[in-house]
């Protein structure tokens, strides 16, 4: 029982560290009429963000426009494929 508790505590701490690291990543957030650099942890539902090429995008973001002339984007799912 003690071994399981120690293992669970370690896994929970590891998840906490990874979550904190992810929330401290920087993102361009639209504030008023210009973009400001903020942290992922500062985002709220409905915020407009600018994504750069080859950056990771959370699954709960919606792409509105791309820089491609035909407004096309590419989604790589290797992180989900296993």
Decide: pTM greater than 0.75. Answer: no
Name the token pair of 21.
């690291």
pLDDT digits (tens, 9 = 90+) for 33-78: 999 999 988 889 999 999 887 777 777 888 888 888 888 887 777 7
């Amino acid at each position: 029982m003690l071994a399981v508790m120690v293992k669970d505590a370690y896994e929970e701490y590891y998840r906490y560290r990874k979550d904190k690291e992810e929330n401290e990543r920087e993102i361009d957030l639209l504030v008023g009429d210009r973009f400001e650099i903020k942290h992922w942890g500062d985002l709220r539902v409905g915020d407009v963000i600018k994504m750069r090429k080859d950056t990771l995008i959370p699954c709960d973001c919606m792409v509105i426009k791309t820089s491609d002339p035909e407004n096309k984007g590419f989604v790589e799912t290797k992180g989900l494929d296993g």
